[in-house]
Chain A
Amino acid sequence: MLTDERRPAPAQPEPPVEAGARRRRRPWSTVVVFLSPALVLFALLVLTPIAIAAYGSFFEWNGFGVPTAFVGLENFHRLLVDEIFVGDLRRALLLVVLSLCIQLPVSLALAMLLNQPLRGRRVYRMLFFAPYVLSEVVTAVLFTMIFSPNQGLANHITRLIGLGDLGATWLAEPDTVMYSLFLVISWKYFGFHTILYLAGRQGIPQELHDAAAIDGAGPWQAFRNITLPLLGPTIRISVFLSILGTIQLFDMIWVLTGGPIRSSETLAVTMFQEGFKRSHVGYASAISMAIFLISLTFGLLYQRFVLRRDLEGAITTIGDRR
């Protein structure tokens, strides 16, 4: 597809003009000059690394020089029997399920709340969204302190409500660490989804709700039969972003639980451990490819089958629809 650009500009006849005489000349040189910086940057630093990962995943390779020890699908085969990798998938699934069943419904409810004529709702909205602007690292360090056994806040809270020293072990116990993580993730991201839903809700014409009220619909009926269906596109995008974000989770976990507790690793953390800490670059490339294929497959299937009806909007705008 790049061949279009490589043709020498003067030799190229003018492209067929769709809009007839109204369109002015569109010389190829302009296209090339304006487009090539983005293409070069994107090809060199986004596409090439992914190609290297794809290639490297078929080798046993320590990351230095050109990979030579071709092992075929061995790395991928290893993945399937690697307890930690399979555990990564299970943990990602757990986080996705928790997000879809708890975090997003709560965000939706809060968006409905913020849509009410409530004094000070601007302040509430601003407050709910604030954690989103903090970096994951800052959030993680803050919550490490909160979960710290002695001076932490979590412990004091659990003691206050009669749960003893439960808070101290939240991040240390393999059984609870994922739930603590989910808590922190929700704390940081619920406001983002609330804002999405609120924007979606405010895009629904008020006449529909007025008409429903005149016809005698109660608030729940109006929500169930008007708000929810019309919020469909927004909800589908929010679910999409939530799942994609979970698949790629790294910073939060690396800082929050880090090192020895492999019971909280995610795909990206395992990849980082193998690639950067153990120099198993070939194997880590295979994990990268797994993340890539999972994201891409999920993304494309989701776009194809779920977002199909509402391909309007920045996040999903693919192709020309004008």
Chain B
Amino acid sequence: MSTTVTEQSPRNRRHLVRGGVLHAVSIVVGATVLVPIAFGILGGFKDNGQLFANPFGLPKPWVPGNYLDALGSSAFWRQATNSLAVAIASTILVILVGAMAAYIFARYAFPGREVLFMVFAIGLMFPFAVAILPLFVLLREMNLLDNPLGVVLPQAAFGLPITIVILRSFFRGIPAEVEESAVLDGCGPFRFFWRILLPMSRPALGTVSVLAVVGSWNNYLLPLIVFNDAQWWTLPLGVQQFQSQYSADTARILAYVTLAMLPSLVCYAFAERQLISGLTSGIGKD
């Protein structure tokens, strides 16, 4: 590596070339990501004839009909509302229940604690797919089919491992003195948990909430078996159903898919940091 000052200008040129190559690679990869998404967004503004003749370019003319139809249909809004309600309910439940357990695992010493924690941690390896069939049998026995609780409760249960694992390690980072002084001031465990621990843990709570919301919003398998009645359908079910219903009308499907993916992309734009820190927690810090 040449570092002398006299070689400044060839080095600069090499830097420029290198930068150019790196940009070129990034742009190609970025385009690979972007083209299918753009195909969906723009395709929704075309009609099927245009899609056939002109799949790449901008719509000419722009045909907003497919979007307007989807936005005007009660089905779309109902599915979006259902998705949102299920996501919020699952998230609140998993955070509350998970944080309570994580508090105990982080702060209380009792025999069997590590074994119990391990049961939850191993739960990280339990895929939904393994449990889905018996879960269906169980939910049917509990009369929870075609009931939002039939999705909310299992989602919260399967979300517990990651929530507990992340929150426990965060809670442990909060100095014991905080709790000790709170207790000296007459603060019981509930008040401490609710008034001090949770507010202090906002970053970690943000991280696990984003994971829970995304997981719920994108879940397909569980709503598929629980919701038979179309009034409960969430967006992934709706999208899939829409596709089989209008299988010949590509442009219409593209419009619907675009509307379904928009909320995820918008949320991602806003909560990028939480999402990424949640997914990479534990990596890169020693």
A residues bordering B, Cβ < 8 Å?
A: 1, 4, 15-18, 22-24, 26, 28, 30-31, 34-35, 37-39, 41-42, 44-53, 56, 63, 110, 113-114, 116, 118-121, 124, 126-131, 133-138, 141-146, 148, 150-153, 156, 187, 191-192, 195-196, 199-204, 213, 216, 218, 233-234, 237, 244, 247-248, 250-251, 254-255, 267-268, 271-272, 275-276, 281, 284-285, 288-289, 291-292, 295-296, 299-300, 312-320, 322
Contacts and interface: CB of A to CB of B under 8 A. Distances in A.
A46 B275 contact: no
Interface string B212-226: 001001111100010
B133 A314 contact: no
Contacts of A202: 284
A113 B127 contact: no
A196 B280 contact: yes
Given A113-B25, A248-B127, A56 B109 contact: no
Given A52-B138, A254-B220, A271-B129, 6 more contacts: A41-B156, A42-B120, A116-B22, A153-B36, A234-B283, A251-B221
A133 B264 contact: yes
A247 B284 CA distance: 26
Given A28-B110, A133-B265, A148 B282 contact: no
A138 B19 contact: no
A213 B1 contact: yes
* A-B pairs with lowest CB-CB distance, top 8: A203-B284, A313-B282, A135-B218, A52-B134, A38-B101, A45-B157, A314-B282, A199-B280
Contact of B125 (A30, A199, A234, A244): A244
B29 interface: yes
Contact of B165 (A51, A255, A276, A317): A317
Nearest to B166: A314
Interface in B193-215: 193, 214
B283 A200 contact: yes
A295 B51 CA distance: 43
Interface residues of B, number: 112
Contacts of B219: 135
B132 to A, nearest CB: 8
Given A118-B19, A134-B261, A195-B276, A153 B129 contact: no
Nearest to A191: B33
B76 interface: no
A129 B283 contact: no
Interface stretch (B5-13, B58-66, B67-75, B236-244): B236-244
Contacts of A251: 220-221, 236
Contacts of A292: 126-127, 130
A156 B22 contact: no
Contact of B121 (A23, A255, A285, A318): A318
B154 to A, nearest CB: 5
A53 to B, nearest CB: 5
A145 B34 contact: no
Contacts of B100: 34-35, 37-38
A145 B283 CA distance: 37
A58 to B, nearest CB: 13
B36 A146 contact: yes
A284, A299, A315, A316 pick with most chain B CB within 10 angstroms: A315
Contacts of B240: 137, 141, 255
B183 interface: yes
A248 B129 contact: yes
Given A128-B29, A151-B55, A319 B130 contact: no
Given A113-B26, A192-B279, A138 B33 contact: no
Given A35-B100, A145-B254, A291-B129, A314 B183 contact: no
Given A45-B154, A46-B123, A192-B279, A201 B39 contact: no
Contact of B26 (A51, A118, A250): A118
A312 B286 CA distance: 8
B48 interface: yes
A160 to B, nearest CB: 9
B130 A18 contact: no
A284 B108 CA distance: 41
A1 B115 contact: yes
Contacts of A144: 243
11 contacts: A1-B112, A23-B109, A45-B154, A45-B157, A51-B134, A126-B272, A136-B220, A234-B284, A244-B125, A248-B127, A299-B125
B131 A322 contact: no
A218 to B, nearest CB: 7
B36 A1 contact: no
Given A35-B100, A136-B218, A138-B257, A45 B275 contact: no
B180 A38 contact: no
Interface in B130-168: 130-138, 153-154, 156-158, 160, 162, 164-166, 168
A218 B286 contact: no
A141 B253 contact: yes
B137 A63 contact: yes
A133 B97 contact: no
